[in-house]
Amino acid sequence: MRTENKLRRLSPKQAKALNTFITIPTAASGATGYSGQSLGGTVSALERNGFIEPFGREDRQLRWEISDQDLKADLNENRDEVLIFLNRLAR
């Protein structure tokens, strides 16, 4: 897995949010289960690190898509392994 070292640096909240954006490709920010400042900090950190980028809007919330090319390649090759790894980090 090419992105293992990048993913290890994620906080548990970031891992959970990234897992949500991977499993529900059209998910808006609120689908992560967080709200308010905790959501903003979590999502903005993922965007700053280059994992996600804005994709569109759903009502007042932004939709996100995966932008990291290595992560996209890992998801195409072995999606289940990446999701299991993110679930382990989210604990």
- What does the alpha-carbon distance between residue 76 and residue 91 come to, in Å, rounded to a whole number? 24
pLDDT of residue 33: 66
What pTM was estimated for this model as a whole? Answer: 0.85
pLDDT of residue 56: 82
Measured in whole angstroms, the distance separating CA 35 from the mean position of its chain's CA atoms is 15
pLDDT tens digit sequence for 2-45: 899 999 999 998 999 899 889 887 777 766 666 556 567 888 89
- What does the alpha-carbon distance between residue 27 and residue 10 come to, in Å, rounded to a whole number? 20
Tokens of 55: 């994709």
- What does the alpha-carbon distance between residue 46 and residue 6 come to, in Å, rounded to a whole number? 11
Amino acid at position 39, single letter: L
Supply angle C-alpha 65, 38, 20, rounded to 5.
35
Mean pLDDT of 78-88: 95
Per-residue pLDDT band at 68 (split at 50, 70, 90): very high
Q: Which CATH class is domain 4-89?
A: mainly alpha
- What does the alpha-carbon distance between residue 8 and residue 55 come to, in Å, rounded to a whole number? 25
pLDDT of residue 27: 74
